[in-house]
Structure 1
Amino acid sequence: MSGRTAVIALVLSALALSYAYPVRTYLEQRAEINRLRDSQGEQAQRIAELEAERAKWDDPAYVKAQARERLLLVEPGEELIIIVDDKPDKGDKDSGPSKSSKDPWFDDLWESFDNADNSG
């Protein structure tokens, strides 16, 4: 190996080392940009879903239906009839009382009052 070849090899290796860090940084930043674009797309989709949900609440019929379903509210003059099934489900084999997720909100409130009276 001649001196001239050694100098050229040394210069080329110095250039390769000096460009390695900026290239690595560039590639990392491109990956970060792509990840952020994907995240932004997911957020835009979530925003669209939430805006569609909000638009539903602008409709008085939807609000009335939700009040009937969630809060068991009725129009004046109507009667509310709640059918209670005392038979336990076949899947419920717990030893304690089970709490149904469909219990009306006022039952939960009344139960909390009873528990507060009985604990003191």
Structure 2
Amino acid sequence: MSGRTAVVALVLSALALSYAYPVRTYLEQRAEINALRDSQSDQADRIAALEAERAKWNDPEYVKAQARDRLLLVEPGEGLIIIIDDPEGAAADAGETPDAEPADPWYDDLWDDFEESE
């Protein structure tokens, strides 16, 4: 290798090393900008959904429906019926007796099988 080739190779490697860090920084910043744009669009979608929800609350019928569902409020003169899901009470009303002893949990069955195999 001649001296001139060695100098050119040394200059090219110095240039490559000097440009490597700025190029890496540029690529990282582009990735961060893209992530922030995605985050911004997600936030814009969430803001739009919240604005739509807020617009619903300006409707008196929607407010009445929410009061009925969430607070169990009724109009004057209406009756309120609350149905409680109680399987034991339903069995007693049907004349059946509920199981006195619940079944063992799955891990007790597994442990019993393990002890039997020994």
Could you state the TM-score of these two structures normalised by the residue count of structure 2? 0.70
Q: Which runs of 5+ in 1 are unaligned?
A: 90-94, 96-120
1:85 Cα offset (Å)? 4.1
Who is 2:43 aligned against? 43
In 2, the alpha carbon distance for the partners of 1:4 and 1:70 equals 85
In 2, the alpha carbon distance for the partners of 1:54 and 1:76 equals 27
In 1, the alpha carbon distance for the partners of 2:64 and 2:33 equals 45
Percent identity over paired residues: 83
1:60 Cα offset (Å)? 0.5
Higher radius of gyration, 1 or 2: 2
Q: Size of the alignment, in residue pairs? A: 90
In 2, the alpha carbon distance for the partners of 1:10 and 1:85 equals 83
Who is 1:6 aligned against? 6
Runs of 4+ in 1 over 6 A off after TM superposition: none
In 2, the alpha carbon distance for the partners of 1:85 and 1:39 equals 43
Q: Which runs of 5+ in 2 are unaligned?
A: 91-101, 103-118
In 2, the alpha carbon distance for the partners of 1:19 and 1:83 equals 73
Who is 1:28 aligned against? 28
Please report the RMSD computed on the Cα atoms of aligned residues, expressed in angstroms: 1.7
